[in-house]
Chains A and B, each alone.
Chain A
Amino acid sequence: MIISPWLLGFFLLILGPIIASLYFSFTDYDLLSSPNWVGFDNYINILTNDPRFRQSLTVTLIFVFVSTPLKLIFALALAMLFNTGRKGTGFFTTIYYIPSIIGGSVAIAVVWRIIFGRNGAVNELLQSVGLSGTNWIGNPDTALSILILLIVWQFGSPMIIFLAGLRQIPTELYEAASVDGANRWQSFKGITIPMLTPVIFFNLIMQTIGGFMIFTQAYLITQGGPMDSTLFYALYLYEMAFEYLRMGYASAMAWILLVIIASITLLLFITSKKWVFYESEGGKS
């Protein structure tokens, strides 16, 4: 059978592990001795008895709910700007897209750590206009914002998807609206946004799910600190699994994460019926 490579991969690397993960989440497996069944202990401990779990969930939720809208606003604003038919927009779109390509790399994490450090470029710029900086990464009040900034900076891919969406909107709609005396803001609200809702929805889902998985940047730039202010969920899970070898506990955390992501995705899908407009249905926005 021609799909057998995937079939093998699916059973060996996806379905098998999913079942195993569920089983391990009810054990105290530490990789060295054989797993003991502990029932719901892991789940109970995580949910009632682990302040660092709560911290990691809070950090991640703040991160997702701040960075996703900001990223999408930037993406849409610049896509609109690049859709005005001026010369050279192709070049600028490319430039703005580069951070999305390399933003997840270790190299950029290195750069972030230096630029936002105490003696970094940002503080030097602030001092040159008479402001005093702080150690952005070492300060619990600012460390998370610096990571949010890093993710928002990578708005290039949603921007390109928005741009493709904007080019699909028939110009006749805008012409008709301007004949009817609509100003720019009105046609933005009445035409652009409704016509773009499927794309907005797509970007929203992708960015939200992606936001929950952030790991590399936090691991490299702040190590979760200072004082757990950037202890992302994925970071804490990694710590539990691969530093403390508490595989059972971490598996339970993975399942809780799955439930959280699935609920938020489901919620977005349900509310989307109210605001996402599909042309083929011919309905209202």
Chain B
Amino acid sequence: MKKKHSSFSNFIYYTFVILFGFVMVYPILWMIMSSLKPETEIFGNASSLIPSQLLFENYARGWEGFGRTGFDLYFRNSMIVTSLVVIGTVLSASIVAYGFARLKFRFKPILFACLMATVMLPVQITLIPQYILFHNLGWVNTFIPLILPAFLGGQPFFIFLLIQFIRGIPRELDEAAIIDGCSTFGIFTRIILPLLKPALVTVVIFAFMWTWDDFLAPLIYLNNANLHTVTLGLRNFMDADSGTNWGPLLAMSSLSLLPQLILFAFFQKYLVQGIATTGLK
């Protein structure tokens, strides 16, 4: 609705939106600013966002890590897991979506119903038997349990999203390609995949964000400290209860959000569209 607003109502509106917005981002600003404070000010001058001096020492101390493992290792592990999950998700979800959207095969309606049912399934149902399976295969304390599912279809929600998108691509394109002698797989790689790019961007961003943030799966599968991801690293740091170093912990917490915030800054349009159209997240 385009309407004229009186300057008084505008004033009230912007005052409210700005103040409330400040409250919304306060915890995040607080974290970043406190990571630059000396330890005494994190609690002594807790609510203030402005440090008396800017201290980068917390970052150096945090990077050293806790115990014998430094955050360089945690970041590397998170990067390995996250990038492999993103690659696996894009590869498998796009090809499976293509199959469901374009090909005819036996039991398709039943299998599609199964796919949709898994979207709603609580993780707890499959968590324990999956753990037992991976335990018996000897894959606990490897990255395989975190990565393998992504290569086997990944999040069913992603498949669904891509199916919807492929259905919007005109079939005439496929038919023209068939006449030109393109194989089924050729249609996928030459026609569908390039057109699928915008939807794939959404998938990449969400797959990255969720995997980077994931805590439960690493917690269950990675007991070896050398395999810990950033999320587990922060937990270790926090649970070193006798005298937690809050400054370095906040520094590493801020750093752990950096990839997500950068991704968000670059792709917020896609993210917002992805949410608005599919209800992801």
* Main DSSP-derived SS at the A contact region: helix
Residues of chain B within 8 A of A102, CB atoms compared:
28, 213, 257, 260-261
Whether B31 contacts A5 by the Cβ 8 Å rule is no
Whether A31 contacts B3 by the Cβ 8 Å rule is no
Stretch from B63-71, B119-127, B165-173 at the A interface: B119-127
Whether B152 contacts A5 by the Cβ 8 Å rule is yes
A53 beta carbon closer than 8 Å to chain B:
no
Give the bracket for the number of chain B residues in contact with chain A.
35 or more
A21 to chain B, nearest CB (A): 5
Stretch from A43-51, A209-217, A275-283 at the B interface: A209-217
In the complex, A114→B132 CA distance in Å? 36
Contact mask B238-281 → A, CB, 8 Å, 1/0?
Answer: 10000000100110011011001100100010011001110111
Which residue of chain A is the closest to B237 with respect to CB atoms? Answer: A110
Whether A5 contacts B95 by the Cβ 8 Å rule is yes
**Cβ contact of A2, chosen from B24, B98, B123, B249, cutoff 8 A:** B98
**Cβ contact of A107, chosen from B246, B256, B279, cutoff 8 A:** B256
Residues of chain B touching chain A, judged by Cβ–Cβ distance below 8 Å, are 1-3, 5, 10, 13-14, 16-17, 20-21, 24-25, 27-28, 30-31, 34, 42-43, 45-47, 91-92, 95-96, 98-100, 103, 105, 111, 114-115, 118, 120-133, 135, 149, 151-153, 159, 184-185, 188, 209, 213, 215-216, 219-220, 230-231, 234-235, 238, 246, 249-250, 253-254, 256-257, 260-261, 264, 268, 271-272, 275-277, 279-281
B248 to chain A, nearest CB (A): 11
Which residue of chain A is the closest to B252 with respect to CB atoms? Answer: A107
**Cβ contact of B152, chosen from A6, A85, A98, A250, cutoff 8 A:** A6
Interface size on A, residues (CB 8 A): 91
| Besides A13-B130, A14-B121, 7 other A-B contacts (C-beta < 8 A) | A3-B103, A5-B95, A10-B111, A18-B126, A21-B129, A84-B3, A241-B131
Residues of chain A within 8 A of B123, CB atoms compared:
213
Q: A85-B1, A121-B30 are in contact. Are A237 and B124 (CB under 8 A)?
A: yes
Task: List the 3 closest pairs (A to B, CB-CB), nearest first.
Answer: A9-B152, A6-B153, A17-B129
Residues of chain A within 8 A of B149, CB atoms compared:
9, 13
In the complex, A253→B91 CA distance in Å? 35
